[in-house]
Chains A and B, each alone.
Chain A
């Protein structure tokens, strides 16, 4: 039977064999936790604790600012060592709350569990906001905002993202195998909040054990498991909607414009924790992998653990790392050092040594068209990047630069090693800056 898919895309080697069979291990607490105050899309949180304060696990240490923002919580009990600027995964020094754990790992006062049947939709949404639930696929968009579409955009379909198309990463795969009930509890809550007619769970065909398990678990829960062809970036929102629901999100639009909401399976599990147990988002699963690490593993980490601590848990480095990536190799963020903390969006940590990172010199564009064929968003990466290099941003906008999902397929396939995504991102930044000026 032909599997559903989307046009375009690539097949990078998925390298999941390093960690796909490894069950999730809980990472022990380190000597210091650095909790950044900007961990999600939207305004960063404002600290509400000071150096010397004693905090309990789950206590709010940063308050949300504005609608598109969530509070930040203490990942363990201990003392606040400082509220100061620390190196953030974005490469800059940004405010963070530094906590010294006391070893008790004691919970503070948590909000009472809610009964899903009797609670109102607003109560559920508020609970998601108060517990800091954000998209765990990597985008970290506040969940309560995604689940509050305007009235004129009714939602009829909920799609769950169990695809995990990025190479090396296996966190969501293990979560589905080991904690399916938690995920499905979260789905039930989302189904109630959105009032959807149908629910789908998309899983790539390279995870047959997860597909089989979830099909059994979803029986009778009004969730249809959809196996998908293995292709990058199947897990991108718009491509997932196209493959499963068959509708295309309009240019410049959002999934709610076609009546769909997409949520990562990890987010669903976090939703279940927050509503049924009052637990805020303070830990997540992350895959530590790559040829630069001795023992690749799937770890359950607390927010604020330094990447060096994760490396220690995985047997240490396998040679001097030339490239440290937080996230997946296609869309993840390169890091300057391992002293950076993990955040709510850290789906993985990949380490590569110098011989894994070939430095190919940049050549001229020969208009081979590989990037155009690979682009899942149906735009022309070569032309947009050419305009971006010449600072002709109006023309770049005319060629739909704003529709780029920054998946990296173009840069991966370019035989001339051109930095296409960076050039398009540069154009997008200039276009947005121009829009703000006018």
Chain B
């Protein structure tokens, strides 16, 4: 029980996928202009990460290892993640066209998002059991959402400030992201590994 809690905390704070592992920077910078869009994106990624973790865990331990074809890991995982993202895109377009419009190109970009593939691969690397990999996936997704929402809040505030001309736009966003990442370094050492 305690290990699961530690995995969760580690994934959300200590080794935050965006701010500590630097995975998934593309949607982090692209969808974080408004808090609502950031939240919507976070929820989409949560769904994809969790289901991807489950499916890839099964594929790894029931197909790839028994048949000795571990070298197909990358292709097989990407295949699964791509189909999942396509599914999520269809559902969002039907259920919430507004969110679909505001996410725009970033929704299909979850497919090639290193955060999702990184999660799937890390699960295998760390040799997590089924339950552990689900908890890790949820933690990773929550950490991703947390980082995005925090950053979106910061960017909304930045819009109100008289930023010097040479810093406006992406420049100040990257500086802020770096500072946020530094802030999360405060959690370092909280959980071993």
Interface residues of A (CB under 8 A from B): 364-365, 383, 386-387, 390
Within 8 A of A (CB), among B139-160: 159-160
* B162: interface (CB < 8 Å): yes
Residues of A within 8 A of B159 (CB): 390
Assembled-state Cα–Cα distance A364/B162 (Å): 7
Assembled-state Cα–Cα distance A213/B161 (Å): 53
Q: Which residue of the partner chain A has the closest CB to B162? A: A364
Give the distance to chain A from B162, nearest Cβ to Cβ, in Å. 5
Residues of B within 8 A of A387 (CB): 160
Number of interface residues of B (CB under 8 A): 4
Contact B160 A390 (CB under 8 A): yes
Q: Tally the A-B contacts, defined by beta carbons under 8 Å.
A: 10
Residues of A within 8 A of B162 (CB): 364-365
Q: Mark B91-131, 1 if CB is under 8 A from A, else 0.
A: 00000000000000000000000000000000000000000
What's the dominant secondary structure at chain B's contact region? loop
Assembled-state Cα–Cα distance A325/B161 (Å): 33
Q: What are 10 A-B contacts defined by CB distance under 8 Å?
A: A364-B161, A364-B162, A365-B161, A365-B162, A383-B160, A386-B160, A386-B161, A387-B160, A390-B159, A390-B160
Assembled-state Cα–Cα distance A364/B163 (Å): 10
Assembled-state Cα–Cα distance A365/B162 (Å): 8
Q: Which residue of the partner chain B has the closest CB to A382? A: B160
Q: Which residue of the partner chain A has the closest CB to B156? A: A395
Assembled-state Cα–Cα distance A386/B158 (Å): 11
Assembled-state Cα–Cα distance A220/B184 (Å): 67
Interface residues of B (CB under 8 A from A): 159-162
Closest 9 pairs (CB-CB, A-B)? A386-B160, A364-B162, A387-B160, A383-B160, A390-B160, A390-B159, A365-B162, A365-B161, A386-B161
Give the distance to chain A from B102, nearest Cβ to Cβ, in Å. 16
Residues of B within 8 A of A390 (CB): 159-160
Assembled-state Cα–Cα distance A237/B99 (Å): 44
Assembled-state Cα–Cα distance A387/B159 (Å): 9
Q: Which residue of the partner chain A has the closest CB to B159? A: A390
Give the distance to chain B from A361, nearest Cβ to Cβ, in Å. 14
Residues of A within 8 A of B160 (CB): 383, 386-387, 390
Give the distance to chain B from A46, nearest Cβ to Cβ, in Å. 46
Give the distance to chain B from A103, nearest Cβ to Cβ, in Å. 61
Besides A365-B162, A390-B159, 8 other CB < 8 A contacts?
A: A364-B161, A364-B162, A365-B161, A383-B160, A386-B160, A386-B161, A387-B160, A390-B160
Assembled-state Cα–Cα distance A390/B160 (Å): 8
Assembled-state Cα–Cα distance A386/B159 (Å): 9
Give the distance to chain B from A27, nearest Cβ to Cβ, in Å. 49
Assembled-state Cα–Cα distance A387/B160 (Å): 7
Assembled-state Cα–Cα distance A365/B158 (Å): 12
Assembled-state Cα–Cα distance A383/B158 (Å): 11
Give the distance to chain A from B34, nearest Cβ to Cβ, in Å. 10
Most central of A383, A386, A390 by chain B CB within 10 Å = A386
Assembled-state Cα–Cα distance A386/B161 (Å): 8
Residues of B within 8 A of A383 (CB): 160
Give the distance to chain B from A363, nearest Cβ to Cβ, in Å. 10
Residues of B within 8 A of A386 (CB): 160-161
Assembled-state Cα–Cα distance A365/B161 (Å): 8
Give the distance to chain B from A220, nearest Cβ to Cβ, in Å. 57
Give the distance to chain B from A300, nearest Cβ to Cβ, in Å. 49
Q: Which residue of the partner chain B has the closest CB to A364? A: B162
Assembled-state Cα–Cα distance A383/B153 (Å): 14
Most central of B159, B160, B161, B162 by chain A CB within 10 Å = B160
Q: Which residue of the partner chain B has the closest CB to A385? A: B160
Assembled-state Cα–Cα distance A238/B139 (Å): 48
Give the distance to chain A from B158, nearest Cβ to Cβ, in Å. 11
Residues of A within 8 A of B161 (CB): 364-365, 386
Q: Which residue of the partner chain B has the closest CB to A389? A: B160
Assembled-state Cα–Cα distance A210/B160 (Å): 47
Residues of B within 8 A of A364 (CB): 161-162
Assembled-state Cα–Cα distance A383/B161 (Å): 10
Give the distance to chain B from A381, nearest Cβ to Cβ, in Å. 13
Assembled-state Cα–Cα distance A222/B160 (Å): 52
Assembled-state Cα–Cα distance A383/B157 (Å): 9
Give the distance to chain B from A368, nearest Cβ to Cβ, in Å. 13
Give the distance to chain A from B47, nearest Cβ to Cβ, in Å. 29
Q: Which residue of the partner chain A has the closest CB to B157? A: A383
Assembled-state Cα–Cα distance A387/B161 (Å): 10
